[in-house]
Amino acid sequence: MKIDGWDISNAKARQARYIDGHHSLSNESVWNTGSNRPIFQRNQMGFKTFTLELWVKGNGYQEIVDHRGIILSRLIGEVVLEPDWTEHKFRAVLDKYSVEESSKQRFHVLSLEFNGYEYLETEPFTIEVSTDFTIENVGTAPTPVTLEVTPKGGPVGIPEDQMVAAIICDSDGAYIIDDADSAAIASHDYDTLVITGLSRDPRTGEALEIEIRNTTPGKKIVIDGETGKITEDGQVKIEDVDIWALPELLPGENEITTNNNWLEVVVRYNPRFM
């Protein structure tokens, strides 16, 4: 087992047992006096709780105690845990611990209780020249994403043999720009992008649009679903983005659509688990 990349074997310890838990759920649904039906609210998700038990050894009682202290000193703040039995990782904070001195001179059991979340590192999803695509989230919990969108155009240096058609969706409906010499595609004004399927009303789960205005071909727009930071080429762009909930993927298949296909979309995410 590793703590922020540090192997606990350096303190003569090894993982003995993992006791799984799940994210806590809280609910504020009410049934008001005089009403014939309750007002249901969606559950709000809290920390995932879990326990790791370690066997800590040493050459005598004092060395075992010192090894326990070394491990605990690495758990003062937020950490990334890598248990031995899985590819999943855990970002968590130590909530409490206990010690059982099973054999005072040979080994002690250090029980660690954590609050955090479980995730699996994956490769980013990338797609170009498409107005709709599907992402399969193998996680079992809602998963935040970092959305990267780069509008294309002549100045980006797209090869001419790729610049033959673009699908545009606006208030007048959908239509195709088909131009072998790429002039119409390169000169088209992609001022506003609209993306659906990644943002939802946290109260109802209803799908919401993400609208990005004043876009420029070749300039990457990044919406970070964990930090809430929104940038274009590294500069803050929050005033040009309408977004009511940070982007995330639900467990299973997620259908995403855009209002034109002349762009590159990258979705970075690490599936999370209940």
Model confidence over 151-192: pLDDT tens digits? 886 443 344 444 445 444 455 544 445 555 444 444 445 578
In this prediction, residue 104 carries a pLDDT of 87
233 and 267 share one domain: yes
CA distance 49 to 258: 37
Examine the fold and report which residue of 71, 95, 119 is the final residue of a domain before the chain moves on: 119
48 and 28 share one domain: yes
In this prediction, residue 152 carries a pLDDT of 81
CA distance 165 to 176: 7
- pLDDT tens-digit map of 246-273: 999 999 999 999 988 788 999 999 999 9
- pLDDT tens-digit map of 38-60: 999 889 999 999 999 999 999 99
Q: In terms of residue numbers, what domain contains 249? A: 125-273
The mean per-residue pLDDT over the stretch 207-215 comes to 92
pTM of the model: 0.81
Nearest to 180 by CA among 166, 151, 160: 160
Nearest to 219 by CA among 190, 245, 197, 195: 190
- pLDDT tens-digit map of 58-117: 999 999 999 999 999 999 999 999 999 899 999 999 999 999 998 889 999 999 999 999
* pLDDT confidence bin for 230, thresholds 50/70/90: very high
Residues 6+ apart with CB under 8 A from 259: 131, 168, 169, 170, 192, 193, 194, 195
Q: How far apart are the first and last CA of the chain?
A: 21
Q: How many domains does the chain have?
A: 2
Residue 256: how many other CB atoms lie within 10 Å: 21
Examine the fold and report which residue of 87, 119, 151 is the final residue of a domain before the chain moves on: 119
CATH of the domain at 75: 2.40.30.200
Percent of the chain past pLDDT 70, that is, above it, reads 86
109 and 132 share one domain: no
Q: Above 90 in pLDDT, residue 224?
A: yes
69 and 41 share one domain: yes
193-214 core/surface letters (b: 16 or more CB in 10 A; e: else): bbbbbbbbeeeeeeebebebee
In this prediction, residue 217 carries a pLDDT of 86
In this prediction, residue 168 carries a pLDDT of 47
Q: Above 90 in pLDDT, residue 242?
A: yes
What's the token pair of residue 42?
């969606």
